[in-house]
């Protein structure tokens, strides 16, 4: 596996509380992504980052914010968790590797979040 870790791996929280998930990489890759995985939807992009302090919204960004103060860390915050945010969250990384590799993304192990 590429050097990607996610913490925590499992979390149970209550509606209305803030939650922060962390993604850490040791590959020095430029791009980092947060996805959520839900049955029947595959993976959907929440936010992504193309460098330190450079982030942009994905397909399902409402209710989420991100921060990237260092190359190796990308934080996802649920500002006020709702039951609809119960999901499995994956972090991914990629780099500019040229024509042979494309924009291949490598994934972390995931965080299972349950919002009660």
Q: How far apart are CA 99 and CA 6, in angstroms?
A: 29
Q: Is 34 exposed, middle or buried (0-12, 13-18, 19+ CB in 10 A)?
A: buried
CB of 80 to another protein, least distance (A): 26
**Where do contacts with another protein occur on this chain (CB under 8 A)?**
1, 31, 33, 35, 40-45, 48, 50, 58-59, 90, 92, 94, 99, 102-110
Q: Which is nearer to another protein, 18 or 45 (CB)?
A: 45
* C-alpha Rg value of the chain to the nearest Å: 14
Contact 21, 5 (CB under 8 A): no
CB of 17 to another protein, least distance (A): 25
CB of 59 to another protein, least distance (A): 8
């Amino acid at each position: 596996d590429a050097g990607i870790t996610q913490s925590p791996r499992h979390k149970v929280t209550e509606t209305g509380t803030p939650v922060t998930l962390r993604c850490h990489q040791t590959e020095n890759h430029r791009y980092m992504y947060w996805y959520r995985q839900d049955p029947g939807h595959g993976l959907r992009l929440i936010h992504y980052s193309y460098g330190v302090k450079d982030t942009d919204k994905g397909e399902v960004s409402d209710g989420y914010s991100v921060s990237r103060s260092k190359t190796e860390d990308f934080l996802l915050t649920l500002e006020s968790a709702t039951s609809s945010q119960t999901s499995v969250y994956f972090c991914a990384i990629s780099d500019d590797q040229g024509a042979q590799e494309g924009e291949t993304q490598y994934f972390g192990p995931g965080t299972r979040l349950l919002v009660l």
